[in-house]
Amino acid sequence: MLLKGEDRIATRKVVVIGAGGHAKVIIDILLADPSIEIAGCTSRQQNRMCAGVPVLGDDSILPELYYQGVRHAFIAIGDNRMRYKLSLQTAAIGFQPVNAVSPRAYVAQSASLGAGIAVMPGAVINAEASIMDYAIINTNASVDHECEIGRFCHIAPGSALSGNVKVGEGSFLGTGTSVIDGISIGSWTTVGAGSTVVRPLPSDCVAYGVPAKVIRQTPKP
């Protein structure tokens, strides 16, 4: 029976897929969410624990976990292409993605957040920005007003995106990347750490430098 003034919080059992450094940050964020109970992690490594959470086995145990009543998953893998593949696998089993949004991040009320996203401590997501499914806004990254961050993107620590920037699906902006106002970056493009993007970048390429220039094209995922 609840005491007067208490609210019952429905908890969701979540399996964290991955047990590396990225997963440790995700676990720290999820542990701060009273609506989430972490069932454990999966990993191909032989770790027994990850940030105090048990490693239950590799990804082959996911169907069994779902059968046991774990209905939600978070894919704690920083690599965009691997996160994309795992999103298809977990969806096929039936898992629903959850978000990991740090209480020490700032997210504007008018911002739009997809599913399965990570927003790390110190990150800022400003007015009317859109963060789509399975994207990562990493530590101290800044996404300004009306930016659009596509599915499976990774905006690495310390990156700064001015307003109205559009980043296509699966693109990776390395640590400390700066992007000026109104720039578009294509899908599945990698921008090297410390780069400054002052002109639009196409899809499926690697670019870096100040200003950032396309170095080579890359195959589609």
Q: Does 78 show up as a binding residue in the annotation?
A: yes
145 catalytic residue (yes or no): yes
Reading the block at residue 141, the tokens are 């990254």
DSSP-assigned letter for residue 201: B
Integer Cα distance of 190 and 193 in angstroms:
9
Which of 22, 72, 83, 145 is labelled catalytic?
A: 145
CA distance 213 to 206: 8
Both tokens of 7, joined, read 């609210």
Rounded to 5°, angle at Cα 167 from 30 and 136: 10
- Residue 114 labelled as part of a binding site: no
CB 60 within 8 Å of CB 67: no
Three-class DSSP category at 4: coil
Are 130 and 110 within 8 A, CB to CB? no
Query: To 5 degrees, how large is the angle CA 146–CA 121–CA 189?
Result: 55
Give helix then strand counts, H and E, for the chain. 3, 25
- Binding-site residues sit at 78, 154
Catalytic residue numbers? 145
- Binding-site residues for acetyl-CoA sit at 154
- Binding-site residues for substrate sit at 78
